[in-house]
Amino acid sequence: MPGQPNQALLLRTLERLLEIPSADLPTALALACDAVADAMHADKVDAFLLDPAKHSLVAMGTSNQPLSSLQRKVGLDVLQIANGGRVVQVFETKAPFRTGRLQEDPDELKGIRETLKIQSKVGVPIELGGEVRGVLMVASLKVDFFTEDDERFVASISRWVGTIAHRAELIQEIGHNAVEQGRRAVAEELMTVLAHDLRNFLSPISGRLHILRRRAEQEQRAADVRDSDAALNAVGRLARLISNILDVARLDQGVFRLDLQPVDLASLCADIARTLSTPTHEVIVTTLDQEVIVRADPSRVGQCLENLVSNAIRHSPRGAPVVMSVSKKRLDEGEIGSVEVVDEGPGVPAEILPRIFDRFYAGKGSTGLGMGLYLAQRIAVAHGGNLSVESPPGKGARFWLSIPSYQDD
């Protein structure tokens, strides 16, 4: 073929590429490399793709030939970016490369020259989804084997190889997402069933603990009173967790109901502060406006704020307060009531911020199920409001809950 590529050969090669099944990525690329090797009478064809984790170019697809087997045997199918070489050069410069005297090329890797003994080489970038992600490299053991026309041929073919690779990646991703969605659906159903069953057990446990506490108080057994209080607090936390799980299920099923009425945000925040304040974490309420009345379901907004404050307490250092600031603001679309919850913790890592309100997403080191903030945001949205977060590095986290003000019709 050298020096003699023609339209018929290009069409035949494209036909072979189009016939490649939408298999896994390595298989699709291997078949594509075989088609190019046959068309160009090459001794080896590689489709290198970037592996960001290893900072390397990896031969994800290789033609089925003896030289390819030798390449894998000596480990030259994985090329570190830092080591350079002609494959890396094509990837970094995004420009084609061709030579017929590779043995005389000091910029090529020694292993490729001395172990594989390649003489001629032509390489072009591979684009996947409009981005250069790899290199298509064609090699021959013969001197001066590839021509300028061959280079143009490989450039044309590389676009189709990139299309094949991108299609295989998309199919893999679709399959992976389908499996994950199936697993998630099963997990969510199991959690909902368990939550229903656990709720049935909590009431008698809580009732028995209250009886034991009263008995201990009457008999002046202070240690048993403290232990009973601790057990009741644990049962309360479990009850709130079960409630969150069931509310997530209600949201999915479209049966999440709101009982809208005038709600005084300052009074609601004061009740929450009294309930959640501890000796090590005081919850402070500041009111910037005399009266902030919103149209809301008090139990649901209370649930939202309790999730925000509990989250702030968990991430605050011992002795640091959590502040709830209540105010009202006038926006273009009307007046809103706002509650800002601020802690003095380390803040939310930048990589977590974009997904902090995702369901079942918990940051590294978290012991929660990742439902509290998801549910808090959904409650805000259900009221026609919003929940947002800001967290400068090392300066704690600020959550803003906004709900439309009550309008007396």
pLDDT tens digit sequence for 70-106: 999 999 999 999 999 999 999 999 999 999 999 999 9
Helix count and strand count (H, E) for the chain: 10, 13
Please report, rounded to a whole number, the percentage of residues in the chain having pLDDT higher than 70: 82
Distance CA 112, CA 117 (A): 6
pLDDT of residue 2: 46
- Which residue, among 323, 267, 274, 325, has the nearest Cα to 296 in the 3D structure? 267
Q: Are 47 and 34 in contact (CB under 8 A)?
A: no
User: pLDDT band at 389, cuts 50/70/90?
Assistant: very high
Bridge partners for 131 per DSSP: 128
Least confident of 21-25, 135-139, 190-194, 201-205: 190-194
Bridge partners for 135 per DSSP: 48, 125
Distance CA 140, CA 120 (A): 5
* pTM for this prediction: 0.48
pLDDT, average across residues 150-156: 87
pLDDT of residue 4: 45
- Which residue, among 324, 279, 319, has the nearest Cα to 306 in the 3D structure? 324
Backbone angles phi, psi at 318, to 5 degrees: -55, 130
**Rounded (10°) CA dihedral 129, 131, 136, 137:** -170
User: pLDDT band at 250, cuts 50/70/90?
Assistant: low
Distance CA 68, CA 161 (A): 18
Q: Are 87 and 121 in contact (CB under 8 A)?
A: no
pLDDT of residue 17: 67
Q: Show Cβ contacts of residue 384 under 8 Å, excluding neighbours closer than 6 positions.
A: 403, 404
Q: Show Cβ contacts of residue 108 under 8 Å, excluding neighbours closer than 6 positions.
A: 85, 86, 102
Q: Which residue has the higher pLDDT, 143 or 355?
A: 143
pLDDT of residue 10: 62
**Rounded (10°) CA dihedral 208, 214, 218, 222:** 90
pLDDT one-digit tens code per residue, 167-177: 777 776 776 66
